[in-house]
Amino acid sequence: MPLRPWSPIPIADNGEPLEELPAALVQLEPHPYVAVGAPYGEQASPFRLRRGVIERLLAAQQHLQQLHPQLRLAVFDAWRPLAVQAYMVQHAIGAECERLGLDPSQPGPALEAVVAEVGRFWAPPSADPRTPPPHSTGAAVDLTLIDGDGQPVAMGSEIDAIGAVSEPDHWLQQAQALPPGTARDQALAWHRQREALRAAMLQAGFAQHPNEWWHFSHGDQLWAWQQQQPLAIYGRWQGG
């Protein structure tokens, strides 16, 4: 998995603590990675972020509800230790091989293509402090929208889906190629939901992952790269 374009950006961690998400932010449970056996350990909650990131999430929810009172943010995943990152990268490769009918134990071009495609969505579990996976910093969050009944809003793909369907503007591009009708209307509806999430998060100071409609961060290397900042302010969380 090659380095990202934001990987060379230096990090000067500001030391903000990692804190539990407040009750005002909905957490989607059971947590999806815990459910598949990811090794968090008994004391490591995935629903934690840096203090400044939590404050911005609350601001994003306020922005969202000013325009869409019936909607709320719902957190899918937040902090992720390296052991979990490594586990989930392999899980994603295995799941994609299963979907394609490939044997992940057999090397070759087909497996290499799967690993490369998964690498567009899952960061390498690097232990190098200069290249931390975004979720290991406590600066990145995966989230979606829920409606007034607490039900997830249709966004046109599941979180963690591998492929072009997960790119933020995928359904807008599809709609532009479709004739007027039901399929085009559906594509535009999915894009509007993604855009509502993106607008709220960007207004609160987050940056969006270029390949993932659900992934946003503030203060990590990806954010610094998108915002043309000289430094990231959050490195890999080393605390308890």
**pLDDT tens per residue, range 62-75:** 999 999 999 999 99
Question: Is the confidence at residue 2, as pLDDT, over 60?
Answer: no
Instruction: Report the 10 Å Cβ neighbour count for 229.
Output: 14
Q: Among the listed ranges 18-27, 47-56, 105-114, which one has the minimum average pLDDT value?
A: 105-114
Instruction: Report the 10 Å Cβ neighbour count for 103.
Output: 11
**What integer is the mean pLDDT of 141-161?**
97
Burial zone of 203 (CB within 10 Å; 0-12 exposed, 13-18 middle, 19+ buried): middle
Greatest CA separation for the chain? 54
Q: Let me know the angle formed at the C-alpha of 81 by 228 and 165, rounded to the nearest 5 degrees.
A: 60
**What integer is the mean pLDDT of 37-54?**
91
CB 209 within 8 A of CB 222: yes
Which residue ranges make up each domain of the chain?
Answer: 18-227
**pLDDT tens per residue, range 178-195:** 999 999 999 999 999 999
Question: Is the confidence at residue 8, as pLDDT, over 70?
Answer: yes
Question: Is the confidence at residue 98, as pLDDT, over 50?
Answer: yes
Q: Is 212 a catalytic residue?
A: yes
Instruction: Report the 10 Å Cβ neighbour count for 192.
Output: 11
Amino acid 166: pLDDT: 97
Question: Is the confidence at residue 1, as pLDDT, over 50?
Answer: no
Per-residue confidence at 135, pLDDT binned at 50, 70, 90? very high
**Architecture field, domain 18-227:** 2-Layer Sandwich (3.30)
Q: Which of 16, 96, 167, 212 is catalytic?
A: 212
Tell me how far CA of residue 131 lies from CA of 125, 158, 160, 163, 190, in angstroms.
Answer: 9, 27, 21, 24, 33
**What integer is the mean pLDDT of 211-240?**
94
